[in-house]
Amino acid sequence: MKDEAFDGLSTEGRGMNFMKKRISLDDISIRNELIPGDLGNVIRMHGELYSREYGYGLQFEDYVAKGVCEFYENYDPKRDRVWVCEHDERIVGFLLLMHRSLAAQLRYFLIEPGYRGIGLGGKLIGMCMQFLRECGYKECYLWTTNELPAAAHLYKRVGFVLTEEKDTTNFGKPVTEQRYDLVLQ
């Protein structure tokens, strides 16, 4: 089902499989404030997930750590926003928008695998688009890699356009970085 997923918390005991609990968007809370532990958790989540799913190295985790710290050090609540998605008091998704002179930069979009396919990514992108308009931003951009077609699909669906590509090994392996730009009407 498109609006439900399994939480991946099946329990095996004495050869018995217990039914997995269905997760829906209604089970996810989204907050816009950072609390102690969030910065470290977001950095850890990116390091672990991108290593496991794409083979990225410590260089990528270092890149994320520096960017998350830059966001925190320059945080302006009128121009910047986080969306922290939680289920059972655990972060399961994250998105950050930070100001860059006249434009905004979308960064660190992440959904834990057990929470993909329920519409959470689309909801986060929609909330981000609403905030961009409320703040009066005229432009937004993001950097991603060619290995994330599902995320690129979400970006394109709201009007982002691929504007630049460059090969790099900055994440511990060869990838093609891609820049997407959005001009708001």
Q: Is residue 33 part of a domain?
A: yes
Q: Is residue 4 part of a domain?
A: no
pTM for the complete prediction?
0.86
Structural domain total, the chain? 1
Q: Is residue 172 part of a domain?
A: no
Domain of 132, CATH number, reads 3.40.630.30
How many residues belong to the chain? Answer: 185
Output the CA torsion 53→63→81→156 (10° steps): -50
Q: Is residue 133 part of a domain?
A: yes
Q: In what order do the strands lie in the sheet with 103-111?
A: 29-31, 81-87, 90-100, 103-111, 139-145, 175-183, 161-168
Q: Is residue 79 part of a domain?
A: yes
Q: Is residue 143 part of a domain?
A: no
Q: Which domain holds residue 29?
A: 25-137
**Each residue's pLDDT tens digit in the chain (185 positions)?**
334 443 443 333 333 333 346 888 989 999 999 999 999 999 999 999 999 999 999 999 999 999 999 999 999 999 999 999 999 999 999 999 999 988 999 999 999 999 999 999 999 999 999 999 999 999 999 999 999 999 999 999 999 999 999 999 989 999 999 999 999 97
Distance CA 176, CA 145 (A): 6
- In the block, residue with structure tokens 């990838």: 175
Q: Is residue 185 part of a domain?
A: no
Q: Are strands 103-111 and 139-145 parallel, antiparallel or unpaired?
A: parallel
